[in-house]
Chains A and B, each alone.
Chain A
Amino acid sequence: MTTSQHARSAATPAADEEALVRALAGLSLTAPATVAAGALVRTGLADAWAELPSPLGPIAVAWNGRGISWIDRADDPESFAERFAARVGRPLARASGMPERLARSVAARLAGGRRVRIPLDLRGRTPFEVAVWMKALEIPRGEVRPYGWIAAEIGHPRAVRAVGTALAHNPVPLVVPCHRVVRSDGSIGQYSLGGPAAKRTILASEGLDPDELEVAARSGRRFLGSATTKIVCLPTCHNARRIAAPHRRPFGSLGAALAAGYRACRECRPASGALAAA
């Protein structure tokens, strides 16, 4: 290399090694905000939320990398955020939309799909609460069970009131169908997502007639047997609803049905409900 070339190289920043190293250090970038925000949501250290349609109108659904964490009314985003802060406490930000797979499975579940697997983030909840919610998940669309049924099924037959409290604290209503749990006297009972009226709406959207339910329970028709199969069910069990009108045999108590030679349905397990009702 000639002297003149040396001089000219040194005078050109890009050709000078030190300047080049400095220039490389200057290639640092600021990450778009989505990098940190997305990482925190995916690791479950923050939550995102979006609006989804439901039979009750638009609902707010919060989620993170572990699953759906909160479902609430969407009528007022501010009070939604407040309730989330009070009960969950993690940072929350509105997202433009839900991850497609999660949105699809929530929509499928709201449409009644039972086999849809939806990850749920139930961190910080008691094992009892989780047991109640998981049991409620087993109740098929269009059917209801008494609070006492849940209590008996999870092995705490006397904890009917605690079951009611746990259901009232259900962080993911509609996905965990606490609306399908009613009082053993047949009245619809309370509902966290907008009160009894909303509960009626959602049950009706699943093909049940809430008035009819209450009338039947009050007039003592708490169990329904089939004269042909000699199987007795809870009235909303899909097996009971298939019984042709001439073969329907209502019972006021499970004891009466068993005495008449009926056996309990293995799917709706009316004994669980009867136990707690007693």
Chain B
Amino acid sequence: MDPDDALCYRLAKDLDEAFPALVEAHAGRLYTIAHRTLGVPSDAEEVAQDALVRAHAALGTYDADRIRALRLKPWLATIAVNLARNRRRRATDRRPPTSLEPLVVAGLEPRIPSAAGPLEMAERRDARRRLADELLRLPPAMREAIVLRHVDGLSVAETALALGRPEGTVKAQVHRGLAQLRLHLAPDFLDPTTSVKELTA
């Protein structure tokens, strides 16, 4: 049995008893989704916490059958994405993308395995930061699709469900998003005049 299905059964039986397990299992991915779509750690923290609180409130209004039938991962992702979107819209002052260095210091960015040499570690850390920064430069809809599909690891179907978009749309957004990331991350190796279509053909 999928751990989330087991969790849904427990939630249906006794919401308050099982909810801490949901928090334990999903707080990290909700924070990741919020952080990778917003780029501001404090905002991501609030969005992730708000998403869990909303989820608890919503589950409180669902009957047991509906809770058992829930697909927890995309369902929670929807809540986080919507809250992150609201926050982005509210932020009228367009803050510049944040550097991730403080996160590494705070121990929130996963550490590069220490088996790697110092130079390699620095390179990989730098690569992560550049990737995260490039992700934040993608158009929001494309960024959401990439974050859910490839950072959070949802399937195309789950991503489509979570974002309320047709699967074809999600596929296209992920495809174009990856192409743009490749284009921006490797400017030295690609001819800037080569179109995205050619690149990914």
- Which residues of A come within 8 Å of B, CB atoms? 1, 5, 8-9, 12-15, 17, 20-21, 23-32, 34-36, 38-40, 42-45, 65
Contacts and interface: CB of A to CB of B under 8 A. Distances in A.
Nearest to A22: B150
B182 A28 contact: no
A65 B56 CA distance: 12
Report which residue of A23, A36, A39 has the largest number of chain B beta carbons within 10 angstroms of its beta carbon. A39
Given A14-B186, A17-B182, A26-B128, 18 more contacts: A5-B190, A14-B182, A20-B182, A24-B131, A27-B32, A27-B131, A28-B151, A30-B107, A31-B45, A32-B108, A35-B48, A36-B23, A39-B53, A39-B56, A42-B53, A43-B16, A44-B16, A45-B16
Interface in B41-96: 41, 45, 48-49, 52-53, 56-57
B31 A43 contact: no
Nearest to A23: B131
B186 A21 contact: no
Contacts of A13: 127
B163 to A, nearest CB: 17
Nearest to A17: B178
B28 to A, nearest CB: 5
B27 interface: yes
B146 interface: yes
Contacts of A65: 53
15 contacts: A5-B190, A12-B189, A14-B186, A15-B190, A17-B178, A20-B182, A28-B28, A29-B35, A30-B107, A35-B30, A35-B48, A36-B27, A36-B52, A43-B53, A45-B20
- Main secondary structure on A side of the interface with B: helix
Contacts of B199: 1
Contact of B30 (A9, A24, A31): A31
A25 B36 CA distance: 11
B181 to A, nearest CB: 6
A35 B52 contact: yes
Interface residues of B, number: 49
B27 A39 contact: yes
Nearest to B29: A28
A14 B135 CA distance: 13
Interface string B115-144: 000000000000110111001000000000
B15 to A, nearest CB: 9
A29 B53 contact: no
Contacts of B29: 28
A27 B182 contact: no
A123 to B, nearest CB: 10
A23 B127 contact: yes
